[in-house]
Chains A and B, each alone.
Chain A
Amino acid sequence: MDLTSDYPTPNHENGEGMKQRFRVALAQINCQRGDKEANTQKIEEYTKRAKQQNADLVIFPELSLTGYMLGDELYKLAETIPGPSTNRIERIAQEQEAYIIFGMPELSEKTQATLYNTAVIVGPQGLIGRYRKMYLPTHSVFEEKRYFRQGHHVGVFETDLGRIGLIICYDVFFPEVSRLTRLEGAQLIICISASPAVRKAFFETLTVARAMENTAFLAYVNLVGIEDGLQFWGGSRLVGPNGRIIVSAKYDEEDLVIGEIDYTEIRQVEPFVPTLKDLRPEIFDKLKEKAENL
């Protein structure tokens, strides 16, 4: 099975014309559950605020178009991509000349009720692509496999802000997703999330680990608010390739924080943290073999 990105990435093959430095906004919002109109308005409002602070990229949490704990309402709320909501958010990106990443339940265009938990990236030129969550938690309070089909490709997109990789929440527990994303050339890995409070320690550790082991920037943006007794803890952060927390958002409250990415920092880190140079491909065969026989 080919897990590589399903979107063509023809531009900037040699990094020409892309920004080496830019500002990224972590838009940690509390969603109105089931109210796409209200959430789209909030996405617009936060994008404007981020743009006023010279951010080029604004990131919203997992399923930020709809909220997370939706149960059967997901069938009613899911849309195709492109669709009415991505069209609206494309317009916001064009008007604000910003890149926007947000999450939504996606309806497969080939079916009538097959859904994906999807991250969407739009930019000043319109829709750039989507990433369908590969690892769907279905344990404890999570029921994602009940509703969503898992994605089969990592999401790496060529933009004026460099190659951006998208992952979603529980994907960060599986280092191979971030690793593959990195090997596809992403220097910035974005993890959008809807994590309830009991998992704070995992995410705070794993986001730093994924950045360090891949010598990449990692932006983590989590939901806040309470849905069906689950309290989403926020704590969004931008992590540098050396594991430094560049900027972090408040716990439990809505917040908008902006951090700067300078890709040249990776060049400084890579020589002495040469995890990519030292990769041993033969180990992956063993890993595959063992994983099939767990």
Chain B
Amino acid sequence: MRLTPQVLDLNWEEVKNKISRFIRDYVEKTGVKGVVLGLSGGVDSSTAAALSAIAIGGNKVLGLMLPERETYNPKDLEHAKLVAEKFGIKTELIDITPTLEALQKTIPAFDPEDKLCKGNLKARTRMLYLYYYANKFNLIVCGSSDKSETMIGYFTKWGDIAADIAPLMDLYKTQVRKLAKHIGIPGDIANKPATPMLWPGQTAEEEIGVKYELLDLILYGLEHFMKVEEIAEQLNIKRELVEKIEKRWRAMEHKRRMPLTTKIQYRTVGFDFRLPHTQS
């Protein structure tokens, strides 16, 4: 297999149909009234929201816009509103700054200089709002994590990853961008730099240290059982970079699974219970 950008090309109409069918089917089987998701104005959440609207109708999709003072960017809000309007999605705008400030005040160990811990608090706070609305209005939380970020663990555990379904999780970031354009997400949203909005000026590519175009090909190679040296040679990059990504991918499995326990009894959650995800 040659690792060229073409390997990431899919039939986007088919992908759109598959994902929207998946969302519709899950909503029907669980008997909920619709879907709630965080609408940041970024490409992932815009795409997840649009596909949800295509699947079940925009009137059954609620997008929560959850800005906070430090990372506030009016452009993001504008983008989120634009997507909501285009796909007929209901929205609610909630400034989470007071919640964050209150939380920070009540944590004795809170360290304002530790931007990672502080940032994760933001992602987990957004999760609280999403699950409150889901709970209150009988909705499911639709996540918007993509495959690139999920594979390398570039997300907040129990934060932005927390959801009932994650319809984009089998698409790499560059694939989500293409799908976004295919379903009518404006180009400036589809192409804008990704950020988890944990601190001001944060961009995913800068933090990860590699462009998504390259990261996705490295991950694609790993997905297809290619050896580190094969990937490095084909992409004409240093072996150390591929090793770094591979290591990160393997080290982050704990973030993608249910909590690990130690086996004591006959059948154990997470080990050897095998039950269907949904019941008829």
| A residues in contact (CB < 8 Å) with B | 32-35, 38, 67, 69-73, 143, 146, 197, 225-229, 231, 252
Contact = CB atoms under 8 A, between A and B. Distances in A.
A231 B21 CA distance: 9
A73 to B, nearest CB: 6
A252 B277 contact: no
Contacts of B18: 197, 231
Contact of A33 (B17, B274, B279): B279
B275 A71 contact: yes
B47 to A, nearest CB: 18
Nearest to B277: A228
Contacts of A225: 25
Contacts of B22: 226, 229, 231
Nearest to A197: B18
Contacts of B279: 33-34
A237 B22 CA distance: 25
B21 A73 contact: no
Contacts of B280: 32-35, 38, 67
The A interface is mostly helix, strand or loop, or mixed, namely loop
Contacts of A252: 17, 21
A70 B279 CA distance: 10
B277 A229 contact: yes
A16 B91 CA distance: 72
B273 interface: yes
A41 B135 CA distance: 35
A226 B25 contact: yes
A248 to B, nearest CB: 18
A227 B26 CA distance: 9
12 contacts: A32-B280, A33-B278, A69-B276, A71-B274, A71-B275, A72-B275, A146-B274, A225-B25, A226-B26, A228-B276, A231-B18, A252-B21
B276 A73 contact: yes
Interface in B244-280: 273-280
B55 to A, nearest CB: 12
B267 to A, nearest CB: 8
Nearest to B26: A226
B171 to A, nearest CB: 13
B185 to A, nearest CB: 23
Contacts of A228: 276-278
A90 B11 CA distance: 43
A34 B29 CA distance: 13
Contacts of B278: 33, 228
Contacts of A197: 18
Given A34-B280, A38-B280, 16 more contacts: A33-B276, A33-B279, A33-B280, A70-B276, A71-B274, A71-B275, A72-B273, A72-B275, A197-B18, A228-B276, A228-B277, A228-B278, A229-B277, A231-B18, A252-B17, A252-B21
